[in-house]
A and B are shown apart, each in its own frame.
Chain A
Amino acid sequence: MYVAVKGGERAINNAHKLLAEQRRGDKDIAEIETDQIEQQLSLSVTRVMAEGSLYDRDLAALAIKQGRGDLIEAIFLMRAYRTTLPRFAFSKPIKTAEMDVSRRISATFKDLPGGQILGPTFDYTHRLLDFTLMANGEAPTEAPSGEQPVDENMPRVLDDILNYEGLIQDEPVPVDENAPVADLTREPVKFPAGRDLRLQNLSRGDEGFVLALGYSTQRGYANSHAFVGEIRYGTVSVEIEPEELGFAIDIGDIELTECETVNKFKGSKTKLPQFTRGYGLVFGQNERKAISMALVDRAMRANEMGEQIMGPAQDSQFVMEHSDNVQSTGFVEHIKLPHYVDFQGELELVRRMRAEVEERLAKSEAENGTSQPEAAE
């Protein structure tokens, strides 16, 4: 007797219960607290904030816990929450030149005003598993503070040093800092997209995708050889200017990594050669993402620079339409949803076409005494 399969409410509710049970794991092990995640998995937290486009460390920690450590799931949770939040105001442009710097390095100058500040970095660690962490070793000894405070005058390499000589393409700050900036979460994207939209798209784009594209530009799928002019990581304050007040107020600090690359120069017989730029900006400390973003930003400026399109990273339509991991994961995974109605149509067609070929074969066999396997041609 045939009974139709019911994918009813009970099955869904039970699946959710099982999921929650698996998330909790062995109950003999202490449950992880969101403040532990927030403090000790801080790079996951900032990635989730960056790609979730929502700066809230506590919510990101909660999303990571709820998503069982699957960061794309956590990013999705953040995005779905973000979409319900009303907009109160738009911030003034942040000023990274006034960043309270924790780390600042330049690959283009050995020494420079403000100095190279190494700060917290994995860069020179030896990647040896530290088994004392597994044994819940003691708290690390406190890092010594510098003998002198960080120089307050920390000019940006590209704007204040290279531009001084006119060696780098000028990127004028908009005269009106209240000029509208595009927001792809509020209006549909139209192509070709302006740089503001492209940068927003990259900043919340999937880290792995942006990384792979950045990498591809270094291997010949674009040609915009890049130097890291500067990376700085630290906190900047965010200001809004409510209509009724008429002056700006500080609403808090955010942690950012900014990367500016100095790229292949251009010029002509009549125009002085100049370096060009790529720009990356991302929540938290994430130099991998910031550098990749700057590489891809520069690659996507191919049209503006009159360069030949040689690789996917230069194709802003391709990049922008595939960078979002919440969109990608949804559509890739959706093919596990039922498609049996469509598949039935395909089954019917393939069977019919096979029957027709078989019929033709049988007919020609009867006429010629030989079989001509058309299908094998």
Chain B
Amino acid sequence: MTLQSQTSDLLPGFDHAAFDSNAVFRALLDAMSRPGRIYDLPVNVAAPDGLNEAATAALLAMADMDTTVWLAPSCATKSACDHLKFHCGCPISTDVKQADFAVARISDDLSFITDLAVGNAEYPDQSATLILMVDEISDRPSMTLSGPGIKDTHSLAIKDLPASFHAWRAENHHLFPCGVDVIFASPTQIAALSRTTRIEVN
């Protein structure tokens, strides 16, 4: 395998490394600071087969050789792996317990999420972040969110979010300060659930 043949079918990463990663990070920071509020993806980016645009942008902005990425089987295409290895230089693991970032589609078997790292009482930051690719994020009141970052309440709806997610999330919230933070990534938008967020399912 030569570098040439590998790079020839590669999609480009960010147009402007510093500016685009900053813009994407700011959207993620806003989203995590204000759980449930929906932010438009601020850059145009090409997504490899297996990933959508917002998830790709989040990884380009946040992942590098110091972070381990786990991809659900439906996302772990050769082009997705090549794309991340080339642009982020991140190790891609098949062991979900090792993941700093775990990426899956909402239609995937989500049973892996109970294996994600939640940190420990002394270092609750040593936890995984779940990037869940979804078709549509809206502020229809299917969930009512409250907690830090939220004035009164936020409404959030994720298309096709399974009931098992809520069961896991309720347990995850109970682990605080440990826990997993979730980034919902539709092709054009992102929203986040911090581990602090209380969810009422309507």
Contacts and interface: CB of A to CB of B under 8 A. Distances in A.
A244 B123 CA distance: 37
A190 B66 CA distance: 17
A190 B123 CA distance: 10
Contacts of B123: 190
B58 to A, nearest CB: 22
Of the four ranges (under 10, 10 to 19, 20 to 34, 35 or more), the interface on chain B belongs to: under 10
Interface residues of A, number: 4
A186 B3 CA distance: 28
Contacts of A244: 3
B133 to A, nearest CB: 30
Interface in B1-37: 3
A163 B3 CA distance: 47
Contacts of B66: 186-187
**Majority SS of interface residues in chain A?**
loop
Nearest to B3: A244
Contacts of B3: 244
Interface string A188-211: 001000000000000000000000
Interface in B96-125: 123
Interface string A234-246: 0000000000100
Nearest to A87: B65
Contacts of A190: 123
Interface string B61-72: 000001000000
A244 B3 CA distance: 10
A244 B66 CA distance: 20
Contacts of A187: 66
A304 B123 CA distance: 24
A190 B3 CA distance: 38
Interface in A139-194: 186-187, 190
B2 to A, nearest CB: 10
Interface in B111-143: 123
B59 to A, nearest CB: 21
A187 B65 CA distance: 13
A190 B122 CA distance: 11
A83 to B, nearest CB: 16
B146 to A, nearest CB: 32
Nearest to A187: B66
A8 B162 CA distance: 59
Contacts of A186: 66
A227 to B, nearest CB: 40
A334 B138 CA distance: 49
A186 B66 CA distance: 10
A107 to B, nearest CB: 43
B67 to A, nearest CB: 12
B202 to A, nearest CB: 41
A187 B123 CA distance: 14
Nearest to B122: A190
A187 B67 CA distance: 12
A210 B123 CA distance: 30
Nearest to B65: A87
A347 B66 CA distance: 48
A186 B123 CA distance: 18
A200 to B, nearest CB: 18
A65 B77 CA distance: 55
B124 to A, nearest CB: 14
Interface in A235-284: 244
Interface in B33-74: 66
Nearest to A186: B66
A202 B77 CA distance: 46
Nearest to B123: A190
B43 to A, nearest CB: 24
A86 to B, nearest CB: 12
A218 B115 CA distance: 51
Interface in A345-374: none
A369 B131 CA distance: 77
Interface string A29-54: 00000000000000000000000000
Closest 4 CB pairs of A and B: A244-B3, A186-B66, A190-B123, A187-B66
4 contacts: A186-B66, A187-B66, A190-B123, A244-B3
